[in-house]
């Protein structure tokens, strides 16, 4: 058994195709909205590399049309597992750009459903982060880090504790205002993305992202567009203090 999937997402943004290309086809650009730290060896025959904890894929580029189309993906494992990405970029006369992202792949085994659900919710967070990056931070480079929080065997209870730590009366909706004390100091922001497993908060100079991971546990995957951040150890302590 197993599950073959393909999902297409789309948004329109007031950015040029060149700005979009910079965000999706350069290492610093990808790092500024995706996960981990990324490097790109550009052009046909090149690759996109991601370093995220122990996950370090090197994904061959299969299509390279600057300003228009980029595709890359993992080579299938012995059991057929793989994931691939395709970005289609279309400039409009109005000065806006349409961005389409196609995510496809195969998950082996009979227990693929939970993994696919978590992957889909995480993918929605990353896609919303890309759109938010282009709308509010295009061209700015992020200091990106991941802090691994405590185990979360009862995800609903962990999510409630996170909402409390963020000064929220309950799990929020997109557009809600958020005020909380972070290791960097007081934060005032707006929820830009949320689902059952993820929460993203935007401020003028940062995006704070919280996500359910395997185990399950909780991750903080933050992006700072200034040097004003506390770093991974401080956020590790914040997660342990508030969510254990």
Tell me the Ramachandran region of residue 236: left when phi exceeds 0, alpha when psi lies from -120 to 50, beta otherwise: alpha
Residue 105, pLDDT above cutoff 90: yes
Last residue of a domain, one of 136, 170, 186: 136
pLDDT for 93 equals 85
* Averaged pLDDT, 124-129: 96
What is the pLDDT averaged over residues 163-176?
97
- Two structure tokens written together for 110: 């009979």
The pLDDT value given to residue 176: 97
Domain boundary among 74, 104, 136: 136
Let me know whether 177 and 206 are in one domain: yes
In this predicted structure, what is the pLDDT of residue 11? 97
Whether residue 55 has pLDDT greater than 90: no
CATH number at residue 183: 3.30.310
Q: Please give the pLDDT value at position 30.
A: 97
Q: What pLDDT shows up at residue 94? A: 82
pLDDT tens string 221-230? 999 999 888 8
Angle at 223 between CA 222 and CA 229, to 5 degrees: 85
Q: DSSP assignment of 36-102, as one string?
A: SEEEEE-STT-EEEEEBTTB--EEEEEEEETTTEEEEEPPP-TT--EEEEEEEEEE-TTS-EEEEEE
Are 150 and 228 found together in one domain? yes
Q: Tell me: do 152 and 196 sit in the same domain.
A: yes
Those residues with Cβ within 8 angstroms of residue 138's Cβ, 6 or more apart along the chain or in another chain: 15, 19, 22, 23
Tally of domains in the chain:
2
Q: Judge if 58 and 101 occupy the same domain.
A: yes
3-class state of residue 168 by DSSP: coil
What are 145-157's pLDDT values in tens digits? Answer: 999 999 999 999 9
CB 71 within 8 A of CB 183: no
**Residue 151 token pair:** 């185990």
Please check whether residues 23 and 122 belong to one and the same domain: yes
Burial of 230 (0-12, 13-18, 19+ CB in 10 A): middle
Q: What is the pLDDT, as a whole number, of residue 1?
A: 82
Structural domain including 156 reads 143-243
Residue 3 and residue 52: Cα distance in Å, rounded?
24
Q: What's the CA gap between 50 and 55, in Å, rounded?
A: 8
Q: Sheet of 206-213: strands edge to edge?
A: 143-151, 217-224, 206-213, 198-203, 185-194, 177-182
Same domain, 19 and 127: yes
Specify whether 21 is located in the same domain as 74: yes
- Taking the model in full, what pTM does it have? 0.95
* Residue that wins the pLDDT comparison between 74 and 33: 33
Give per-residue pLDDT as tens, 5-28.
999 999 999 999 999 999 999 999
Neighbours of 114 (CB within 10 A): 11
Which pLDDT score, from 0 to 100, does residue 230 have? 87
Residue tagged 């557009």 (tokens):
175
CATH code of the domain containing 80: 3.30.530.20
* Centroid of chain to Cα 154: 23
Do 110 and 153 belong together in one domain?
no
**Average pLDDT value for residue range 64-92:** 95
Asked if the model's pLDDT at residue 214 lies above 90, the reply is no
Which of 117, 136, 155 is a domain's end point?
A: 136
Out of 87-91, 117-121, 158-162, pick the least confident: 117-121
Task: Provide the CA 10 distance to its chain's centre, in angstroms.
Answer: 15
For residues 21 and 113, state if they share a domain.
Answer: yes
Q: CA torsion, points 52, 180, 195, 106, in degrees to nearest 10?
A: 0
């Amino acid at each position: 058994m197993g599950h073959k999937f393909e999902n297409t997402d789309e948004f329109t943004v007031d950015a040029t195709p060149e700005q979009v290309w910079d965000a999706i086809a350069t290492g610093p650009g990808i790092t500024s909205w995706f996960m981990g730290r990324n490097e790109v060896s550009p052009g046909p025959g090149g690759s996109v590399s991601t370093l995220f904890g122990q996950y370090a894929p090197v994904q061959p580029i299969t299509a390279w049309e600057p300003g228009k189309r980029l595709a890359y993906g993992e080579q299938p494992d012995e059991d057929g597992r793989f994931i691939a990405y395709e970005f289609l970029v279309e400039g409009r006369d109005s000065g806006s750009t349409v961005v389409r992202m196609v995510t496809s792949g195969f998950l082996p085994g009979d227990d693929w459903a939970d993994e696919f659900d978590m992957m889909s919710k995480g993918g929605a967070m990353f896609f919303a982060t890309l759109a938010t990056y282009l709308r509010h931070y295009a061209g700015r480079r992020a200091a990106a880090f991941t802090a691994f929080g405590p185990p979360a065997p009862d995800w609903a209870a962990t999510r409630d504790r996170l909402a409390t730590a963020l000064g929220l009366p309950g799990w929020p909706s997109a557009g809600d205002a958020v005020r909380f004390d972070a290791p960097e100091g007081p934060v005032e922001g707006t929820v830009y993305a949320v689902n059952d497993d993820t929460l993203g908060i935007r401020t003028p100079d940062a995006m704070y992202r919280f996500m359910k991971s395997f185990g399950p546990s909780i991750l903080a995957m933050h992006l700072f567009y200034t040097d004003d951040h506390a770093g991974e150890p401080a956020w590790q302590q914040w997660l342990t203090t508030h969510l254990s």
